[in-house]
Amino acid sequence: MFFNCHPAARRRWRWLCLIPLLTACSTTGRVTEATTGCAWTRPIRVSRQDQLTDLTARQILAHNEAGRRLCGWQPNQPANPPHP
């Protein structure tokens, strides 16, 4: 049906289908603040009670090292300090 149309009608249909796609890609303005991820992520702390696989321990280490490098995370006290 569509392919048997007159060429002008076909062009019109193409534009009618293309316009919603183009308007969906429009922006709403300039970005005022870029987030690096440091505002919503924290180091992963492991307690003595945690039982980790080697893979999980490596992933936690990689996460914390990336945070140290990119966000300036510093070594901190243990996750579960002794209670007085």
For residue 79, what pLDDT is reported? 46
In Å, how far are 3, 23, 62, 66 from 69, measured between CA atoms?
58, 40, 10, 5
Distance CA 84, CA 78 (A): 15
Residues 6+ apart with CB under 8 A from 76: 43, 45
Q: What are the tens digits of pLDDT across the range 44-76?
A: 999 999 999 999 999 999 999 999 998 888 876
0.75 exceeded by pTM: no
List the chain domain ranges.
38-74
What tokens were used for 67? Answer: 């945070």
Residue found by looking up tokens 């996750």 in the block = 79
